[in-house]
């Protein structure tokens, strides 16, 4: 920008785009947890577009980092295991279509946006292990269980979760288990 023109004020949409770019860069490992936290705080309080541009200037333009995050993760698998662990960006929706498969979704170090994650499950002879973090709540009222079980930790009444996971779909000879991260496991879920 030239110095004789006033700086353009940032809109809510401008801030949201910068936050999303930072969140994806953090999930890709381009930023450390400390850098991500610092930049997110600055982005949310930025007044001008130039301030936002400075926060993302050292990140690649275009491609996955500059693009909007995937709103949907589809897992179609027969046999074996599917594991999402470490730093990963949580989409708004997950579809699990599995047979004879163990699926692990670990939210301990995941980059999450506050709100609701919808997981549509069609699982036959399998297991869904969900490793939660503080502030993550699971609602399994939408599941239909046939020769299956669901073992979740009791919810805390009145608590306002950072992330609410809503499970829906069918389990046939399958189970859903919620666990806390192992002691000594690093990090907490990052919220943007």
Domain identity same for 59 and 82: no
Number of domains the chain contains: 2
181 plus 132 within the same structural domain: yes
Examine the domain organization and report whether 85 and 152 are in the same domain.
Answer: yes
pLDDT of residue 155: 67
Note whether 26 and 97 are same-domain residues: no
Whether residues 91 and 119 share a domain: the answer is: yes
CB atoms within 10 A of CB 18: 24
Residue 133 vs residues 48, 157, 164, 178: alpha-carbon distances, Å: 34, 17, 11, 10
Residue 4 forms part of a structural domain: no
Question: Does 97 lie in the same domain as 57?
Answer: no
Examine the domain organization and report whether 26 and 89 are in the same domain. Answer: no
Residue 44: inside a domain: yes
Whether 136 and 189 have beta carbons less than 8 Å apart is answered as: yes
In a domain, 175, yes or no: yes
58 and 130 assigned to the same domain: no
Is residue 71 within 8 A of residue 93, CB to CB? The reply is yes
**The predicted structure's pLDDT at residue 156:** 59
Beta strands in the chain (DSSP E): 72-78, 81-84, 93-99, 102-106, 111-112, 115-124, 127-131, 136-146, 149-151, 163-172, 175-179, 190-191
Q: Taking the complete model, does pTM exceed 0.75, yes or no?
A: no
pLDDT, residue 159, reads 62
Pairing relation of β-strands 127-131 and 175-179? parallel
2 falls within a domain: no
Phi, psi of 116 (to 5 degrees): -120, 135
**pLDDT one digit per residue (tens) for the chain, 192 residues:** 444 435 788 888 788 888 878 877 777 778 888 888 898 899 889 888 888 888 888 876 533 333 344 688 889 998 889 999 988 888 889 999 999 999 999 998 888 888 899 999 999 999 999 999 888 899 999 999 999 999 998 765 556 778 899 999 999 999 999 998 876 554 455 555
Co-location of 122 and 149 in the same domain: yes
For residue 26, give its domain range. 12-66
In a domain, 107, yes or no: yes
Q: Is 145 among the domain residues?
A: yes
């Amino acid at each position: 920008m030239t110095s004789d023109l006033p700086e353009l004020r940032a809109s809510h949409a401008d801030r949201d785009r910068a936050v999303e770019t930072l969140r994806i860069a953090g999930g890709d490992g381009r930023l450390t947890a400390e850098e991500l936290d610092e930049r997110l705080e600055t982005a949310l309080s930025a007044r001008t577009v130039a301030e936002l541009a400075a926060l993302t200037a050292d990140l690649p333009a275009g491609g996955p980092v500059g693009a909007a995050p995937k709103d949907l993760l589809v897992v179609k698998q027969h046999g074996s295991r599917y594991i999402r662990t470490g730093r990963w960006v949580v989409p708004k929706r997950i579809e699990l279509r599995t047979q004879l498969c163990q699926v692990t979704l670990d939210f301990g170090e995941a980059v999450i946006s506050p709100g609701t994650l919808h997981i549509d499950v069609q699982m036959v002879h399998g297991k869904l292990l969900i490793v939660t973090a503080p502030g993550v709540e699971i609602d399994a009222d939408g599941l239909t269980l046939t020769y299956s079980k669901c073992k979740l930790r009791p919810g805390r009444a009145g608590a306002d979760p950072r992330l609410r996971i809503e499970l829906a779909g069918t389990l046939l000879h399958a189970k859903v288990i919620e666990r806390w991260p192992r002691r000594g496991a690093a990090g907490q879920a990052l919220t943007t």
